[in-house]
C-alpha cells in the first residue's frame, strides 16, 4: 500500500515535469500532492496531511492555474525535445544507483535517538515551536508585500 | 535506521532527481517552478518520514507546516515575478531573459 502511494507520487511528479501542456502539468502536481497527503495520513500525521491537501494541492494549484491563464496567449515556449526522450534513461540509471546506495547504507547508519511523544500536537506547535510562528507571520507578510509591490508597479506603468 | 526509512529516503532522492532534472533541462519559467515544487515535496516527505522513524511525528509535522508556509510565500512571489517577466518580454522562455547579461 505504502509503496504504491510512493510510486504514484513519483509517477505524477514525472508527469508534471514532462507534460507539455502547462495546465495538465499543474493538475498532475496537485494529484502528486494528494498522494503525498495520503502518505502523511499513513504516517499518522493528519495535520500536515490536511495542510498538504488544502494549501499545496489547493492554493498553490490555484496560483499556478491563474499564472498559466494570465500568460497563456503567447507564452508557449519551444522546449527542446531531447531532454524528454533521454529522461527515461537517466531516470532508470538514477534508480539503480539509488537502490545500490540505499542497500549499501542499510544497517550502517545508527538509529536516531528518540522517545515516544507524550504531548499533543497543539502543545508542540504552540509552545515548543513558538518562534517558528513568529517567523511564519513574517514570511507571510513578506510574501504579501512583495506581491503587492510587483503588481503596483505594473499598474502605474499601465496608467 | 530501519528499512522503511530507507525506502522513503530512496523515493525522496528520486523526487529530488526529478526536480533537479527539470531545473537543468527545461526553458519554461512555469515548468522550472514546477520542478522546484517537486523538490519541495521531496523535502516535506523527508521531514515527516524521519519524524515517523524517530517516533517524533508531532515535531516533524510542525516543522513541515513551517516549510509549507514558506513554500507558499515563495510560490506567490515567484509567480508574480513570472507574470511581470511575461508582461515585459512577452514570453516565458528563460533564454529571452538577457537584459542583465553582461
**Segments making up each domain of chain A, as ranges:** 1-72, 120-159
Name the residue ranges covered by the structural domains of chain B.
3-93
The structure's pTM equals 0.87
Picking from A26, A29, A60, A65 by the largest number of B CB atoms within 10 A of its own CB, the best residue to mutate is A60
Picking from A7, A8, A10 by the largest number of B CB atoms within 10 A of its own CB, the best residue to mutate is A10
- Give how far B102 is from chain A: nearest CA, Å: 24
C-alpha cell at A21: 501542456
B32-60 pLDDT per residue, tens: 999 999 999 999 999 999 888 888 888 88
Q: Using CA atoms, how far apart are residues B15 and B9, in angstroms rounded to an integer? A: 10
Q: In this predicted model, which residue has the larger pLDDT, A60 or B91? A: A60
Which residues of chain B neighbour A150 with C-beta distances below 8 Å?
77, 80-81, 83-84
CATH number of this structure's domain B3-93, picked from the four choices 1.20.1060.10, 3.40.470.10, 1.10.510.10, 1.10.287.3510: 1.10.287.3510
A9-32 pLDDT per residue, tens: 999 999 999 888 888 999 999 999
Give the pLDDT mean for B88-95: 81
Which residues of chain A neighbour B91 with C-beta distances below 8 Å?
74-75, 77
Closest CA to B21 of A89, A57, A26: A89
Give the pLDDT mean for B65-84: 90
Cβ of B58 and A98 within 8 Å? no
Amino acid at each position: 500500500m505504502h509503496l504504491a502511494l510512493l510510486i504514484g507520487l513519483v509517477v505524477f511528479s514525472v508527469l508534471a515535469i514532462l507534460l507539455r501542456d502547462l495546465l495538465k502539468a499543474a493538475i498532475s502536481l496537485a494529484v502528486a500532492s494528494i498522494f503525498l497527503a495520503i502518505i502523511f495520513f499513513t504516517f499518522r500525521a493528519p495535520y500536515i496531511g490536511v495542510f498538504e491537501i488544502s494549501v499545496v494541492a489547493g492554493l498553490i494549484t490555484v496560483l499556478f492555474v491563474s499564472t498559466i491563464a494570465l500568460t497563456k496567449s503567447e507564452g508557449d515556449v519551444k522546449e527542446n525535445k531531447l531532454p524528454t526522450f533521454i529522461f527515461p534513461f537517466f531516470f532508470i540509471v538514477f534508480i539503480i544507483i539509488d537502490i545500490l546506495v540505499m542497500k549499501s547504507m542499510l544497517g550502517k547508519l545508527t538509529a536516531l535517538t528518540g522517545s515516544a511523544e507524550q504531548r499533543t500536537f497543539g502543545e508542540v506547535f504552540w509552545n515548543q515551536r513558538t518562534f517558528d510562528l513568529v517567523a511564519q507571520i513574517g514570511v507571510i507578510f513578506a510574501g504579501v508585500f512583495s506581491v503587492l509591490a510587483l503588481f503596483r508597479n505594473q499598474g502605474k506603468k499601465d496608467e | 535506521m530501519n528499512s522503511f526509512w530507507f525506502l522513503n529516503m530512496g523515493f525522496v532522492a528520486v523526487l529530488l532527481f526529478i526536480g533537479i532534472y527539470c531545473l537543468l533541462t527545461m526553458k519554461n519559467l512555469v515548468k522550472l517552478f514546477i520542478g522546484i515544487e517537486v523538490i519541495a515535496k521531496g523535502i516535506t516527505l523527508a521531514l515527516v518520514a524521519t519524524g515517523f522513524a524517530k517516533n517524533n511525528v508531532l515535531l516533524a509535522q510542525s516543522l513541515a507546516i513551517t516549510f509549507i508556509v514558506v513554500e507558499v510565500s515563495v510560490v506567490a512571489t515567484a509567480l508574480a515575478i513570472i507574470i511581470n517577466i511575461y508582461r515585459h518580454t512577452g514570453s516565458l522562455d528563460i533564454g529571452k531573459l538577457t537584459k542583465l547579461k553582461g
